[in-house]
Amino acid sequence: MRPIHAALALLALGLATATPAQAQQTSEPKVNLVIVFGEDKCPESDAGTITVCARKDEGERYRIPETLRESVSPQNEAWNQKVRAYETYTKTGAQSCSPVGSGGWTGCSSKLINEAYAQKKTDPGIRAAQLIADERAKRLANVDADAAETQAAVEQQEEQIIARRKLEQQASGQAPEPETPPPAPPK
C-alpha cells in the first residue's frame, strides 16, 4: 500500500504545480499607466499591454508631484514652529489661553485677535482695506459730480430770478437795481 500512497502524492504534487503554469498562460494583459504633459503624444498600446495616459498641464512637468508637495509629517515641520510650541508649552495662568490654572481663559480673546490680524496680513483673499478705499473713491467721485450738478442748477435758478426781477421792475417803471454778484460757493 505504500507505493500507492507515494504515487498519489506524486500525482497531487504534479497537479499542484501545473496550476500556476496554466494561470501564467491565461494572465491578464499588462497595464501601463503613463503621465503625459501638455500636448505630448500618448504611447500606443500593443497586444500584451494596455496603455492608459493621464494628461496633466504643461506647468506640472518639472514640479514635485502633488501627493508629495504637502506633508503633515513631523520631519517636514519647520524648526521655528517646534520652538514656538515648546515656548508656549508650560504657559499657564492669566493671559495664557489655557484650561490650566486660574484665569487661563483670559488670554483667549487676545490670542484670537492676534491670529485674525496675522491672517489679515497674509491672506490675499481678505482685502478689506482695499475694498473700503475703492468704495470711498467711488462715493467721492459721485459727491463731486452731484455737487457740480447742484451748483449748475442753483446758478440757473439765480439767473431766472434775476431776469424775472428785471422784467418786474421794467413793467412797474422803476429803475433796474444794480446786479449783485452771487455769493461765492463755500470752500
Q: Cα–Cα distance between 7 and 9 in angstroms, integer?
A: 5
**Domains of the chain: which residue ranges?**
111-174
**Which region, left, alpha or beta, applies to residue 103 given φ > 0 means left and ψ of -120 to 50 means alpha?**
left
Condensed to tens digits (0 to 9), the pLDDT of residues 36-53 reads 999 999 888 887 888 888
C-alpha cell at 38: 501638455
Q: Tell me the C-alpha distance between 24 and 30, whole Å.
A: 12
Q: Is the pTM of this model over 0.85?
A: no
Q: How confident is the model at residue 176 (pLDDT cuts 50, 70, 90)?
A: low
| Total residues belonging to the chain | 187
The C-alpha cell at 62 is 518639472
Write out pLDDT tens, residues 7-16.
445 445 555 5
Positive or negative, the CA dihedral 121, 124, 125, 128 is positive
Confidence of residue 115 (pLDDT cuts 50, 70, 90): confident
For 88-127, where are the alpha helices, taking DSSP H only? 108-122
Whether the pLDDT of residue 161 is over 90: the answer is yes
